[in-house]
Amino acid sequence: MKKHPIKILQWNARGLFRAKLQEFRENLRSVNPLIVFLSETHWKNEYTIKFSAYNSYLLNRPSQGGGVAILVKKAIQTNILTLPNLPNLEAVGVSVKLNDSFIDLISVYCPNGNQCNDQEINLLFNTPRNKAIIGGDFNSHSEVSDDFHTTNSCGRKISEFLLTDPNWTLSTPRNLNTRPNSRDYSSSTIDLTFTTSDLSPLTSIHTGPYWSSDHLPVIIDIDLVTTQTASLAPRWKFDDKKWGEWNSAISSSFNSQSFSEIEDPAASHSSFTNAIIEASTKFFKRKHSMLPKEKARPWWTEKYKKATRDVRKAHNTWKESLLPSDKTNLNRLEAIKKKTILAAKNYSWSNFIDNLGVPKNTTIFWNFTKNMLRGQQESPLNKFPLTQNGITACSHEDKAKLLLDEFCPLEDPLAEEPMYSAAINRHLQDDSPTLSTTLSPRSKYQTA
């Protein structure tokens, strides 16, 4: 089996909104990590941040700043970890299934490195029960991570813990310099990655390019033997001609195990799942799906890419010289880049609207959209059909579908088939279902 390292991205974003969020989406597409650890997102519960290729697991701070998140590629089996109460730490955790085994992941942000205590460190590192990776901005200074700063409370507690617990290793290279110092060349290594001892020999870590934060992104490669599809839920190409045999095989499996008499929920779930997988493997061909990749946006133009390159070049120049004039130039190019990104996105929207065959007035279009969302009286825009790729949409439903297909395509590769909805709802409302009843042929589940 060919080795494919598990790539993890770890980054303190120092706020992820508007132009910076759009740039991050493009960086996600370029780096294409399997998992992402984020800290200082500054997201709020009232805002919904979605990604086309990732599921998001968040812990937002109720007040200003802070916030942590973990992004996991869609179609990978993921469970949320229950973490202990950590007053001085912000943390969110999940457990992902890779190659038939689970790896626990925790993203951490410690706002104040002088307030961390022994109890919190022990609780944090004793939470995982599998192979595990803990990463984030700990604001930690100690001799184990860098040479340029005096040890603080968090650094001392972490060092003491690592000396007494052989199960954990600091995998971040010493003096990785994840947070450049704006005043001199003594950068900090406060973005740390810890792995359990079984993953430590397989882990390599390096920093990425400047992404408009005072922290550099950290790229983590875990050299596990895996394949691109090893972690995906199994899927099959169903064949109508074999549907009856498939049902019979499942029914036979249930009867041989006296499925209806199983009282343990876990055993019942395992029995049911195994019966489905065995029958599907026997009668149907397996679908070979790939993990999704973050969708390309139409506003990632060459002009935007040039603005990004100019900013990174200016950042490197300033870090070499530390001259105020170079810092001023960096700030100027940052402002230009932000305006370029937002202008490109707005132009893309306007251009799309113009090609729909509606009046060239984005204000009318947005009023129409808000009215549809709020259920208010339709605007005059509804009188005009929308046209895209030669297809004309006149009804509300067709117009909504056209816009959704363009800007919010179906994200879930395992979407439900509508033909089963009626049958599922009917059985859910049955007060006395018989689990051992022979499953009906597929044709009986079809709706009119």
- Structure-model confidence comparison of residues 217 and 372, the more confident one: 217
Percent of all residues in the chain with a pLDDT value above 70, rounded to a whole number = 79
Kindly report the length of the chain: 448
Q: What long-range pairs does 204-210 form, CB within 8 A, spacing at least 24? A: 205/171, 205/172, 205/173, 205/176, 206/173, 206/176, 207/176, 207/177, 207/178, 208/9, 208/31, 209/312, 210/311, 210/312, 210/315, 210/316
Residue 291 has what pLDDT? 78
Kindly state the average pLDDT of the residues 213-222: 96
Assign 407 a pLDDT band (cuts: 50, 70, 90).
low
Residue 443 has what pLDDT? 43
Is residue 104 scored above 90 in pLDDT?
yes
Instruction: Give just the sign of the alpha carbon dihedral 418, 420, 422, 426.
Output: negative
Strands 285-286 and 236-237: antiparallel
Residue 239 has what pLDDT? 84
309-341 residues labelled b (16+ CB within 10 A) or e (exposed): ebbbebbeebbeeeeeebbebbeebbeebbebb
Would you say 75 and 233 are in contact if contact means Cβ atoms under 8 Å apart?
Answer: yes
Instruction: Give phi and psi for 320, each to the nearest 5.
Output: -80, -35
Residue 389 has what pLDDT? 72
The two tokens of residue 375 are 């259920």
Q: What is the pLDDT of residues 337-387, one digit of tens each?
A: 999 988 888 887 777 766 766 555 666 666 666 665 555 455 554 556 777
Residue 100 has what pLDDT? 76
Whole-angstrom distance, CA of residue 223 vs CA of residue 230: 14
Kindly state the average pLDDT of the residues 83-90: 94
- Structure-model confidence comparison of residues 328 and 290, the more confident one: 328
Q: What is the amino acid identity at position 316?
A: N
Would you say 133 and 202 are in contact if contact means Cβ atoms under 8 Å apart?
Answer: no
pTM (predicted TM-score)? 0.71
Assign 445 a pLDDT band (cuts: 50, 70, 90).
very low
How buried is 73 (Cβ within 10 angstroms: 0-12 exposed, 13-18 middle, 19+ buried)? Answer: buried
387-417 residues labelled b (16+ CB within 10 A) or e (exposed): eeeeeebeeeeebeebbeeeeeeeeeeeeee
Q: Of 314-318, 386-390, 391-395, 435-439, which has the strongest mean pLDDT?
A: 314-318
State the residue for tokens 């990632």. 300
The set of residues, in sequence order, having a beta carbon less than 8 Å from that of 443 and lying 6+ positions away, is: 243
Write down the architecture of domain 6-222 according to CATH.
Answer: 4-Layer Sandwich (3.60)
Residue 441 has what pLDDT? 47
Q: What is the pLDDT of residues 176-190, one digit of tens each?
A: 999 988 777 778 999
Average of per-residue pLDDT values in the chain: 83
Kindly state the average pLDDT of the residues 315-326: 92
Whole-angstrom distance, CA of residue 303 vs CA of residue 315: 19
The residue extents of the domains of the chain are 6-222, 236-286+416-445, 302-407
- Structure-model confidence comparison of residues 272 and 429, the more confident one: 272
Is residue 250 scored above 80 in pLDDT?
yes
Residue 221 has what pLDDT? 95
Whole-angstrom distance, CA of residue 124 vs CA of residue 138: 12
Whole-angstrom distance, CA of residue 304 vs CA of residue 200: 38
